[in-house]
Amino acid sequence: QVQLVESGGGLVQAGGSLRLSCAASGRTLSTYTRGWFRQAPGKEREFVAAIAWSSAMPPYADSVKGRFTISRDNAKNTVYLQMNSLKPDDTAVYYCAATPRTDIMTMRRHEFYVYWGQGTQVTVSS
């Protein structure tokens, strides 16, 4: 049974930084695409970033490009999301997920992800 556990969320002032981690257990996900999504109150879940097993050219949502960086450590079965220059609009519950798909189009779509974490709250104050 695969479990994804996020950590690193919290409260931060605008302009600050946070680093989210997502550790997987129960199965090695080194060949899986790992993704981050977020959901703000009253809004749909949206794509943030994803990274394939090769870590080459990860896609980002336009709203976070240049501020967030996704990375992975296959040896630790863990994916990270470094979030810099945070804005109040970044406030949401952040979820990590994993999919065996590797094509660039499906990486952005939450319906193709088969494993999900429970989410971690990120709150950015103005």
Q: DSSP string spanning 32-75? A: SEEEEEEE-TTS--EEEEEE-TT--S--B-TTTTTTEEEEEEGG
According to the model, what pLDDT value does residue 55 have?
72
For the stretch 37-66, pLDDT in tens is: 999 999 999 999 999 987 778 899 999 999
According to the model, what pLDDT value does residue 33 have?
96
According to the model, what pLDDT value does residue 25 have?
96
According to the model, what pLDDT value does residue 24 have?
97
> Would you call 94 helix, strand, or coil by DSSP?
strand
According to the model, what pLDDT value does residue 57 have?
83
- Write out residues in the chain with pLDDT < 70, as ranges: none
